[in-house]
């Protein structure tokens, strides 16, 4: 029977709870650095490596490699990793295709493949504050075009 570490945290001392938060942060940062995917701290909290490290009072060293392997084997995270690899491959193909093209040819390439418009999955998930932050860095004509394209105007 495996129980969640959260069930034990109220009974542990402050040092162990701080050790728990530090372990979650270390694993989350390492995973994000290697894969560019942020993981919910709750998923990290219940990994066996974290549980062993915290319950031993730090006597058992935090095995970051084992924790990362455990995270990679989780279905939702492995699906996100596959999607990230596919996107990286698509970007690599676009870069290699356009490396020797002239400016006009690159623009034609982008228009033919729909790369000159914002992606629906990104634009739809952005908040108004995110759009406003982007608008701040644009010139007046670009602001108007961006606002029209995203339905802000």
The answer to whether residues 67 and 98 belong to one domain is no
The answer to whether residues 17 and 35 belong to one domain is yes
Cα 69 from Cα 80, distance rounded (Å): 14
The answer to whether residues 46 and 82 belong to one domain is no
Print the domain residue range for 51: 5-73
- Six token digits for residue 25: 């942060």
14-35 vs 48-55: helix axis angle to the nearest 10? 150
Cα 75 from Cα 78, distance rounded (Å): 5
The length of the chain, given as a count of residues: 153
Contact 114, 122 (CB under 8 A): no
The answer to whether residues 28 and 61 belong to one domain is yes
- The pLDDT of residue 1 is 45
Q: What is the pLDDT of residues 59-118, one digit of tens each?
A: 888 888 988 888 888 888 888 888 888 888 998 999 999 999 999 998 899 888 888 776
């Amino acid at each position: 029977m495996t129980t969640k570490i959260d069930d034990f945290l109220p009974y542990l001392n402050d040092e162990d709870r701080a050790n728990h938060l530090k372990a979650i942060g270390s694993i989350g940062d390492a995973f994000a650095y290697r894969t560019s995917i942020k993981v919910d701290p709750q998923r990290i909290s219940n990994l066996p490596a974290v549980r062993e490290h915290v319950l031993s009072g730090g006597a058992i060293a935090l095995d970051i490699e084992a924790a990362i392997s455990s995270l990679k084997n989780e279905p939702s995270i492995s699906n996100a990793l596959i999607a990230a690899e596919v996107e990286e491959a698509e970007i690599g193909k676009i870069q290699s295709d356009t490396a020797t093209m002239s400016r006009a040819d690159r623009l034609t390439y982008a228009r033919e493949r729909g790369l000159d418009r914002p992606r629906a999955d990104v634009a739809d998930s952005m908040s108004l504050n995110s759009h406003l932050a982007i608008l701040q860095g644009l010139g007046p004509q670009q602001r108007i075009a961006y606002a029209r394209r995203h339905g802000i105007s």
